[in-house]
Amino acid sequence: MAPKTLLEMAGASAAPPQLGQATVLVIDAQREYVDGALPLAGVGPAIAEIGRLLDQARQAGAAVIHVKHRGREGGAFDPTAPRGQIVAELAPAGAEIVVEKSLPNAFAGTDLKARLDATGRKDLVVVGFMTHMCVEATTRAALDLGFKPTVIATATATRDLPDPVAGGTISAAEVQRNALAALNDRFALVLPDVAALGNK
């Protein structure tokens, strides 16, 4: 028998949200992950997919909020250096909000919840980096705070990790697959790509 997610067992709807009535949350789409100290596997295609989502979201009238990790000067995500900046292709447009964070969970120590509450929307479409870290931490917290997260798989990416149990390396592909499967079990609807979301 094929396994079911906890959401399926609870009878939760698997229908994607209407994009025009949702908020798109772009997490840490910064150059650190492109040409900095933490290059991610598949980051280029993920950036392109986020760009497609933003184009559709803006046309549909979705709210868009960008989250930007603020590191220390001289280190990763240095806010004064190019590595800490949002990649040019995904730069905020118009009056789109940018929330700065210092922890993986974008709600921790920020006004993100208040910003989201101000939109009056409960559906979140979450994309960005890294899948197993800030995307996962923020998505889990979003559910706890009463939001309904959807994660777009191809609009996320991660990196190889050391295996703390067996030694060696866990590939980025395996980390990605496991992180998305864990989120899809209880915390979010995980869609394979932007096309699966539709444009409503």
Instruction: Point out the residues that are catalytic.
Output: 28, 101, 134
- In this structure, what DSSP letter does residue 25 have? E
Cis peptide before 130, with omega less than 30 degrees from 0?
yes
Helical spans, DSSP H, in the chain? 6-9, 32-35, 43-60, 112-119, 136-144, 172-186, 194-197
CA distances to 25, 124, 143 from 22, rounded to whole Å, are 10, 6, 15
Q: The tokens of 78 are what? A: 């240095």
On the CB side of 49, how many CA atoms lie within 13 Å of its CA?
Answer: 24
Find where tokens 């040019």 sit: 88
Q: Which of 53, 83, 82, 80 is nearest to 66 (CA)?
A: 53
